[in-house]
A and B are shown apart, each in its own frame.
Chain A
Amino acid sequence: NAGVTQTPKFQVLKTGQSMTLQCAQDMNHNSMYWYRQDPGMGLRLIYYSASEGTTDKGEVPNGYNVSRLNKREFSLRLESAAPSQTSVYFCASSGLLQTGEQYFGPGTRLTVT
């Protein structure tokens, strides 16, 4: 039982390049989330998927797109990377809708030059 896995762990992009961050969970959770973490700002929600087949914007969705590929997988795409998107990205999942308890992956450290 690996929990929540993310790939890649590290990535360096040039401005304007695109990439997709992958996330998978093996806990049979319905809900999945993408956050970014920046110093002094805690975690900010980018997008979430309450259940398979649905996605919704979070607090900071601009410049990102997501795909809920199936119940296990939720990917985050940067179509044209900008230096402001340099951050650590975390994926999380939740199976307890009433309480919102979430389980996190190890993160992807992205640098855009």
Chain B
Amino acid sequence: AQSVTQLDSQVPVFEEAPVELRCNYSSSVSVYLFWYVQYPNQGLQLLLKYLSGSTLVKGINGFEAEFNKSQTSFHLRKPSVHISDTAEYFCAGSGDSSYKLIFGSGTRLLVRP
């Protein structure tokens, strides 16, 4: 079955600390992978995407992610977080059809002062 798994439902971290949000995908999911961010009471905004090429992908707001085919992972990282990064983050991958995305259940990043 196609799936995208986010291993942590909530990640608390102090401001200016590094953070990693974990995402694993099933091998049946296409290699097109995405991270979206959802700020409170807003829609989803594309943070970054992996389509092909370099396995290290840089996105907006200082985030980056690394595609690891052997581990079927696409973890999101930021070296130093800000209070404003508090949000929910969703990992997603293309499914059996390029028309559809498979979403993980989300990880709530809580940045504390």
Contact = CB atoms under 8 A, between A and B. Distances in A.
Interface in A58-92: 58, 90, 92
A48 B101 CA distance: 11
B43 A102 contact: no
B105 A102 contact: no
Given A40-B105, A42-B106, A100-B32, A107 B42 contact: yes
A92 B36 CA distance: 13
B105 A100 contact: no
B104 A42 contact: yes
B35 to A, nearest CB: 12
Interface residues on A, range: 20 to 34
A107 B43 contact: yes
Interface of A: 4, 31, 33, 40-45, 48, 50, 58, 90, 92, 94, 97-107
Contact of B34 (A90, A97, A101, A106): A101
Given A40-B9, A42-B105, A99 B46 contact: no
A45 B98 CA distance: 14
